Amino acid sequence: MSVDSIEKLYKNFGILADAKDKIGEHEKEYLEIITAVKGSAKEKRLASQFIVRFFKHFPNLADQAIEAQLDLCEDEDVSIRKQAIKDLPNLCKDTKQHVQKIADILAQLLQTDESSELNVVYNSLMSVFKIDCKASLGGLFTQVLQGDDLTRERCLKFLATKVKSLGHDVVNKESEEFLISECKKVLQDVTADEFHYLMDILGWTRLGQTVSGQQELVDLVAEQADIHNDFDPRDPENDNVDRLIQCVRQALPYFSSQVDSARFVAYMCDQVLPQFGDISSSEEGADPQLEILKLFAELCTHCGTLENPDAKVEEIFERLIEYMPLPPDSEAENSTQEEPRLEFSYVECLMYGFHRLARQSPEFLTKDADRLKDFRFRLQYFARGIQGYIKKLREALQGKTPEELKTEENKIKVVALKTTSNINTLIKDLFHSPPSYKSNISLSWKPASNSNNKDSAPSSMKRHTPITFSSGESPPKQSKGDKPQREMYTPPSGKYSNKVSGYMPQRGRGRGRPRGGFRGRGWRRIY
Q: pLDDT tens, 3-22?
A: 688 999 999 999 988 888 88
- Whole-angstrom distance, CA of residue 185 vs CA of residue 66: 30
Of the candidates 515, 518, 501, 505, the one whose C-alpha atom is nearest the C-alpha of residue 245 is: 505
Phi, psi of 39 (to 5 degrees): -90, -150
**pTM for this structure?**
0.79
Query: Which pLDDT score is estimated for 265?
Result: 98
Give the Cα-Cα-Cα angle 502, 503, 506 (nearest 5 degrees). Answer: 105
- In this prediction, residue 118 has a pLDDT band, given cuts at 50, 70 and 90, of very high
Per-residue pLDDT band for 327 (boundaries 50, 70, 90) equals confident
**The length of the chain, given as a count of residues:** 527
What is residue 388's predicted lDDT score, i.e. its pLDDT? Answer: 86
Q: Which of 228, 231, 288, 221 is nearest to 253 (CA)?
A: 221
Kindly give, in sequence order, each residue whose CB lies less than 8 Å from that of residue 142, ignoring residues fewer than 6 positions away: 100, 104, 107
CA separation for the pair 337, 172 (Å, rounded): 69
3-class SS string, 375-442: HHHHHHHHHHHHHHHHHHHHHHHCCCCCCHHHCHHHHHHHHHHHHHHHHHHHHHHHCCCCCCCCCCCC
Share of the chain above pLDDT 90, in %: 67
Instruction: Give the model's confidence band at 502: pLDDT under 50 very low, under 70 low, under 90 confident, else very high.
Output: very low
Give residue 337's pLDDT.
Answer: 61
Q: What is the DSSP letter of 452?
A: S
